[in-house]
Amino acid sequence: MLRSARHPVNIGQLVMGVAFLGLVVVWALIQSDVVGGDDVRWLLPVPWVLAGLAGLLATTRSGRDWERAENEATAPQPSAPDDTLRYDADADDVNVR
């Protein structure tokens, strides 16, 4: 039986997703007149900073996950049952022994 590790995170997609979501939130705040004037100046860089932090966190976490996955992959696995395929020339299909 094959053991699988968690799917690795695509850091580029994560960063751009966080940035896009943050820009949408900033746009919504500006359009709803919650934020305006000089407040926009400090609000616009926030999505990029959050996206950078998400990328840094994902980079440090993915290194640990890869190391754990490599350790699990190289660890001795229990042997699988003897399910070998046998071809019978007289039969029309493959039989499992």
Residues of the chain with pLDDT under 50: none
Burial-class residue 15 by CB neighbours within 10 Å (0-12, 13-18, 19+).
buried
Which residue is it, tokens 């860089």?
45
pLDDT tens track for 68-87: 656 666 666 666 555 565 65
**What is the reported pTM?**
0.57
Number of Cβ atoms within 10 Å of the Cβ of 18: 19
| CA 46/CA 30 separation, integer angstroms | 14
